[in-house]
Amino acid sequence: MSVITAEGLVKIYKSRKSEVRALDGLDLTVEQGTVLGLLGPNGAGKTTTVRILATLLRPDAGKATVAGFDVVRQAQQLRSVIGLSGQYAAVDENLTGAENLWMFGRLYQLPSAEAKRRAGDLLEQFDLVDAKDRTIKTYSGGMRRRLDLASALIGRPQLLFLDEPTTGLDPRSRMGMWEVIRSLVRDGTTLLLTTQYLEEADALADTIAVVDHGRIIARGTADELKSQVGGERIEVVVRNKADLALAGEILVRDTQHELSVDEHTRRLTVPSEGGAGRLVVIARDLLDANIEIDDIGLRRPTLDDVFLTLTGRPVEEVDAAVGAAKDAGTSRGKAA
Amino acid sequence: MSAQVSGHPVPVGGIRQAWNDGLVVTWRNLKRIPRIPELAIFAILQSIMFVLLFAFVFGGAIMLPGYTDPNAYREYLMPGIFVQTLAFASATTAIGFAEDSKKGIIDRFRSLPMANSAVLSGRTVADVVYNMGILVVLMVSGLAVGWGVNSSIPEFLAGVGLLLLFTFAMSWIGVWLGLSVPSVEVAQQVSFIVIFPITFVSNAFVPIASLPTWLQPIAEWNPVSTLTAATRELFGNPNPFATDNLPSQEPILVTLMWIVVIVAVFAPLGVRKYRQTSK
C-alpha cells in the first residue's frame, strides 16, 4: 500500500520581482517498504516536495497524505511517524552526540529512559560510540550526517525522508552513508530520498522519479531510465585530428550505431551495448589502424544525459534560473 | 496500516506536553552556556564595566536634584542599569533564534511531534535564567560601588521578580524579531537600534524632569521608566520622579500591565512566525 500519496502539489515562491513555481502539479506515490529516489537538479522542486510532505511547508494547491495523515490538517499526528534528515546536518552543535539523540527522542515523546536506551543503540549502529560524549562542534562532516540520520530515526519512524544525504561529503564519507542507508533499507524502512546524483539513486533506490520544473517527468527503475538515454556509450579521444575520420569508421563498424564527433576536443562518442568486451575490441581495432589514443572509456549515462534526453536541455540552465529567484524570494506559505 | 503505527508514541498534546517539551528545550538552551563559556564571561565583564563606568564617570558629576548626598545618584542609577541590561534580553533571544534558523535545527524541531510553543518558551525561559545570573553580577558590582537595598526582603524579592518578568516579556519580543530577520547580524543590529533609544528615553539614567517637555510623556509611559521606578520603589532607592500621572503614581501596576501586553502581543506573533518559518 502507498505510504505517500501526493496529487497536484503546487508551491509558489514569491519575491518582489519574480515568482517561481517550485512545484507545478507534482504527483507522487511511495509504496510501503520501498525506496523512492527523487532525482533532479538544484531548484527542480525536490526539497520543496520533502518539506511539504514533512509538514514544514504548506502547499498552495493539491493534497498529500503520509501514512494516511493529511499533511495540512493532521500535521501533528503525521510528524510522529516520520523522520527527516536534511542536507544541512540539523543537530545542536553545543550538545554531545548522546545529548542530541536523547533530546530528539524526548521531543518524539519517548520516555526519558527509553530515549536514552534508543540513543545508545543508534550511536552503536552508526559507529559513533567513541564520540558520544563529545560536542558536535568536534565532529567531522560525515559524523555529523550520521548523527543527523540517527536523530531522524530515534522515534522509529515509519517513513524516512532523506534530503540530499550525501551532498557535500567526501567520497569516503559518501560510501559510509550509502552503507548506512542500505542497512536501513534491508531492515524494511520506507524511504524517500532526494539526490542530484543518478549514481546515488541507482545505488539506493528501487524506483527513481525524475523531477524538473516542479513536476515528475519520468519514473522507473534505474535500468529503465538509463535505457531511455540509450545506455552506455564509448568515448574515444584521438591524439591527431587527422585520425578522426578513420577512428569514426571503426567505431561505427564495431557498434553499428550513429556517431557523434567533437572536432575541437577530438572526441568521438558512440552508443554501445557490448560493455567492456566491445571496448576492448574497439581499442584493438584502433591500435591495429595505428591511431594514437589519448583517452578511451566506457561511459555510463549521467544525470546530465538523462536530463538532456528527457528535457532537451542541460542541467545547469535550470539551476541558475530557479536558484536566483529562490534566493530572492520568501515563502508565502500559510502557517501549518 | 503497518503494525509499527500502533506501538508508536502518540503526542499527548495539551499543557502537559507543552510543559515537558518546553523543559527539554530549556535544558538544551542552558547547556549552551557552559559549553561556550566565552559568552557568559564577556557578558559578566561587560556588566561589571557598565556599573563601574556609570558609577565613576557620571556618578561624580551628576548631583541628583533634591538630594544632597553625593552617593544618591549611584543608588538612583543602579536600578536603571539593571533594567537597561535586562532589556537587552530581547537581543539575546533574537540572536539565539537567528542562529538556530541558520543552522537548520529549527527545521528539525518543526518536523517533530512536539508542542508548537516549546521551542519558543524553552528559549525565553532559558534566557530568563541566564539573565538572572547577569542580574546577580550587576547587583554584586552595584553593592561594591555604594548601591544598597533599603527596603524589606519581600519588597526586594518582589523587585527581582518584576525585573525577571520584564526580561521574560522582552524575550518574547526577541522571539518574534529573531524569526523575522534574515540573519544573525541583522538581529544584532535591529535589537541595538530599537533597544538603545528605548532605554535612554527613560528615567534609567536621568530624571524625566530634565528631558524636553515634548519627550516627557513618552519617557514617562516607557516600560523601561515604569520598571525602573518600580524597582527603585521596591528596593528603597531614590525615586524622584513624581507627577500626577498614572505611570508615576503606580509604576508597579503599569509595569505589570506592560508585561501582560507585550507577552499577549508577541507570544502569538512569535508562535505564528515559527510555524511559518521556512529557510
Give which of B5, B6, B8, B184 to mutate to test A binding, by max A Cβ within 10 Å: B8
Is B221 inside any structural domain?
A: yes
d(CA B178, CA B124): 12
Q: Tell me if B2 and A32 make a contact (CB, 8 A cut-off).
A: yes
pLDDT digits (tens, 9 = 90+) for B27-56: 999 999 999 899 889 989 988 998 898 888
CA distance B213 to B206: 14
In chain A, count H helices and then E strands.
Answer: 12, 15
Give the helix/strand (H/E) hosting B118. Answer: helix B118-144
Based on the domain organization, do A67 and A15 belong to the same domain?
yes
Query: β-pairing, A2-14 with A19-31?
Result: antiparallel
Residues A205 and A243 in one domain: no
Q: What is the ipTM of this complex?
A: 0.86
CATH number of the structural domain spanning residue A295: 3.30.70.100
Q: Evaluate whether A251 touches A268 at the Cβ level (below 8 Å).
A: yes
* A141 plus A91 within the same structural domain: yes
Is A238 in a helix, a strand, or coil?
Answer: strand
Phi, psi (deg, nearest 5) at residue A8: 55, 40
Of B5, B21, B276, the CB nearest to A81: B5
Q: Domain of B202?
A: 14-61+68-276
Establish if B3 belongs to a structural domain: no
In this predicted structure, what is the pLDDT of residue B13? 66
Establish how many alpha carbons lie within 13 A of residue B161's alpha carbon, considering only the half-sphere containing its beta carbon.
9
Instruction: Note whether residue A223 is domain-resident.
Output: yes
Structural domain includes residue A143? yes
Tell me: do A146 and A237 sit in the same domain. no
User: What distance in Å separates the CA atoms of residue A246 and residue B128, rounded to the nearest whole number?
Assistant: 80
pLDDT of residue A323: 47
Cα angle B212, B217, B221; round to 5: 135
Which ranges of A126-170 does DSSP label H, i.e. alpha helix?
141-153
A90/A12 same-domain check: yes
Q: Cβ of A90 and B105 within 8 Å?
A: yes
The residues on A that touch B, with CB distances below 8 Å, are 32, 51, 54-57, 67-68, 76-77, 79-82, 84, 86, 88-95, 99, 103-104, 106-110, 135, 151, 155-156, 158, 331, 333-336
Q: Is residue B1 part of a domain?
A: no
- B32 interfacial to chain A (CB closer than 8 Å): yes
> DSSP code of A260?
E
The answer on A237 and A200 residing in a single domain is no
Indicate if A285 and A327 belong to the same structural domain.
no
User: For residue A216, what is the domain's CATH number?
Assistant: 3.40.50.300
Same domain, A145 and A277: no
pLDDT, tens digit, 9 for 90 and up, residues B120-151: 999 999 999 999 999 999 999 999 988 999 99
Is A304 inside a domain boundary?
A: no
Both A255 and A217 in one domain: the answer is: no
How many CB atoms neighbour CB B34 within 10 A?
Answer: 9
Residue A221 and residue A99 share a domain: yes
Find the closest chain A residue to B118 by CA distance: A107
| A147 & A28 share domain | yes
Distance CA A133, CA A122 (A): 14
Question: pLDDT averaged over consecutive 10-residue blocks of chain B (279 residues)?
Answer: 43 80 96 90 89 83 78 88 90 89 87 90 94 94 91 95 96 92 89 88 87 90 94 90 77 95 94 74
Contact between B271 and B120 (Cβ < 8 Å): yes
CA A121, A125, A129, A131 dihedral sign is negative
Domain total of chain A: 2
For residue A6, the enclosing domain spans 2-227+314-331
In chain B, the number of structural domains is 1
* pLDDT digits (tens), chain A, 336 positions: 789 999 999 999 887 788 888 999 999 999 999 999 999 888 889 999 999 999 999 999 999 999 999 999 999 899 999 999 977 768 999 999 999 999 999 999 999 999 999 999 999 988 999 999 999 999 998 899 899 999 999 998 989 999 998 888 888 888 888 988 888 888 888 999 999 888 888 889 999 999 989 999 999 988 788 777 767 888 999 999 999 999 999 999 988 888 888 889 899 988 888 788 889 999 999 999 999 999 999 887 766 677 777 776 665 554 444 444 444 444 333 333
Distance of residue A296 Cα from the nearest chain B Cα, in angstroms: 44
A250 and A324 housed in the same domain = no
- List the grid coordinates of B144: 561594591
- Mark out the alpha helices in A126-208 (DSSP H runs): 141-153, 171-186, 198-204
**Chain B positions in Cβ-Cβ contact with residue A56 (cut-off 8 Å):** 107, 110-111, 278
B160 inside domain: yes
CA distance A168 to chain B (A): 15
The DSSP code sequence of A310-335 is: HHSS-HHHHHHHHHHHHHH-EE-PPP
- Using alpha carbons, list the distances in angstroms from residue B37 to B40, B138, B233: 5, 18, 35
